[in-house]
Chains A and B, each alone.
Chain A
Amino acid sequence: DAKTTQPNSMESNEEEPVHLPCNHSTISGTDYIHWYRQLPSQGPEYVIHGLTSNVNNRMASLAIAEDRKSSTLILHRATLRDAAVYYCILSGAGSYQLTFGKGTKLSVIP
């Protein structure tokens, strides 16, 4: 499975935008980029996914580099509820399970 690299932790002030980076230099052409997050004492929850084009949904935006070797999850206005561990995951043909790395622990400061 292609690997992803994320910073261990990040901090953001409440109501400010947050950009969470992810490097995946060995991504293959058919790998999708998924983001999940895990709030304290809960199971992970889906945030967003994409292949090549930037994606938006009600929770976040996903910006994918043109060479697809990196991506950025954008939370437009961080709230206290967004404090969680964010996982960037690749899925390719035949590997429908999610391979979680260590993720980025996001702290939101009131």
Chain B
Amino acid sequence: EAGVTQSPTHLIKTRGQQATLRCSPISGHTSVYWYQQALGLGLQFLLWYDEGEERNRGNFPPRFSGRQFPNYSSELNVNALELEDSALYLCASSLMGGLTDTQYFGPGTRLTVL
């Protein structure tokens, strides 16, 4: 069974541009989570989508946004890129979103902002 996939693997942008990152969850999973792992800051929760709706968001500015499509895949958009947005962006999926649901992580997209 295929795991969580993310594309692209690497993305290089310049300040002020927009970045779009994509995530395909494990088949049958309806919940998708986005996390940012910046150097020295650890893994921070960004967004949670379930059944096409945004369920929760972390402490990030509105220029971080996303959506979940009817096939449960998801997109993370980062507008007006800043240097500090350089990080590994991880997507995870779970069966339905719950206290004991295991989250399965993808390999991540490495975003570099120059």
Contact of B105 with A45 in the complex, beta carbons under 8 Å: yes
Tally chain B residues at the interface, Cβ within 8 Å: 27
Asked if A56 lies at the interface with its beta carbon under 8 angstroms from chain B, I say no
| Chain A contact surface mostly | loop
- Given A43-B90, A43-B108, A44-B105, also A98-B100 (CB < 8 A): no
State whether B105 touches A96 (Cβ < 8 A).
Answer: no
List residues 27-69 of chain B with CB under 8 A from any CB of chain A. Answer: 31, 33, 35, 42-45, 48, 55-56, 58
A91 interfacial by beta-carbon distance below 8 Å = yes
Contact B99 A44 (CB under 8 A): no
Render A85-110 as a binary contact track against B, CB cut-off 8 A, 1 for contact. Answer: 00100011101111111110000000
- B58 A97 Cβ-Cβ under 8 A: yes
Contacts of B99 in A (CB 8 A): 30, 32, 91-93, 96
Task: Specify which chain B residues have a CB less than 8 angstroms from the CB of A45 in the assembled complex.
Answer: 104-105
Indicate if the CB atoms of A96 and B42 lie closer than 8 Å: no
Question: With A and B bound together, what is the CA distance between A25 and B5 in angstroms?
Answer: 36
* Contact in complex: B100, A46 (CB < 8 Å): no
* A92 contact set on B, CB distance < 8 A: 99
Q: Which A residues are CB-close (under 8 A) to B90?
A: 43-44
Q: Which of A46, A95, A103 contacts B104 (CB 8 A)?
A: A46
Say if the beta carbon of B98 comes within 8 Å of chain A: yes
